[in-house]
Amino acid sequence: MGKVTMTVNGRARSAEVEGRTLLSSFLRDGLELTGTHVGCDTSQCGACVVLVNGQAVKSCTAFAADLDGAEVTTVEGMANPDGSLGRIQQAFQDYHGLQCGYCTPGMVMSTAALLAENPKPTEEEVRHYLEGNICRCTGYQNIVRAVMAASGQDVGALAAE
């Protein structure tokens, strides 16, 4: 066991971890930030994506001990300071970018990483960037619309469902 400290959603947070403690369990079990979902636990689905030093990372496929000192943003950090939904979250609600919501935390975090890199992505760029985020409900169409809306682009121009 050893103590790991990260800045999570802007606050310094510490927990005792084993070598094998994954970032996903550090967040969910250690810090009780259960917004980060674990879907497959085998690096395939992207439900567990969080930002580590600004980059999208599958939290089920990184050891907490390896990220000592990192800055992490989870879906809990995406809301506005007053607790209302942040821009990306609001777009997912407005455009029905979720049904069961299981994939949503990962989708929102991947979207945040994409828009930080590329503020006005094309539809094709959005689909390409979200390749590692699997959704079993929506058929992706409304997710793409939500991402385009979150980037301030015209959603009406997208192909109809």
Partner 1 sequence: MYNFDFVKPSSIADAVAALAGEDAQPLSGGQTLIPSMKARLNAPGTLVSLTGIPELVGVCREGDMLVIGAATTHAQVARDAAADFPGLAALAGQIGDPAVRNRGTIGGSLANNDPSACYPAAALGTGATIVTDRREIGADDYFQGMFTTALEEGEIITAVRFPIPQASAYAKFVQPASRFALTAAFVARFESGVRVAITGASENGVFRWAEAEAALSSDFSADAIAGLACSPDEMIADLHGTAAYRAHLVGVMTRRAVAAAG
Determine if 73 is a binding residue for partner 1 (CB under 8 A): no
The length of the chain in residues reads 161
Q: Write down the least CB distance from residue 63 to ligand FAD, Å.
A: 10
Determine if 2 is a binding residue for partner 1 (CB under 8 A): yes
63, interface contact from ligand FES, ligand FAD, partner 1, none, CB < 5-8 Å by kind: partner 1
Determine if 7 is a binding residue for ligand FES (CB under 6 A): no
In three-state form (DSSP H/G/I as H, E/B as E, the rest C), the secondary structure along the chain is: CEEEEEEECCEEEEEEECCCCEHHHHHHHHCCCCCCCCCCCCCCCCCCEEEECCEEEEHHHCEHHHHCCCEEECHHHHCCCCCCCCHHHHHHHHCCCCCCCCCHHHHHHHHHHHHHHCCCCCHHHHHHHHHHCCCCCCCCHHHHHHHHHHCCCCCCCCCCC
Q: Given the rule CB under 8 A, which of 8-16, 73-81, 85-93, 109-117 is the region that contacts partner 1?
A: 109-117
Give the x-and-dash track for 8-47 against ligand FAD (CB under 6 A): -----------------------------------xx---
Among 23, 47, 109, 115, indicate the residue that binds ligand FES (CB under 6 A): 47
Considering the complex, state which of residue 17 and residue 62 has its C-beta at the smaller distance from ligand FES.
Answer: 62
Considering the complex, state which of residue 21 and residue 153 has its C-beta at the smaller distance from ligand FAD.
Answer: 21
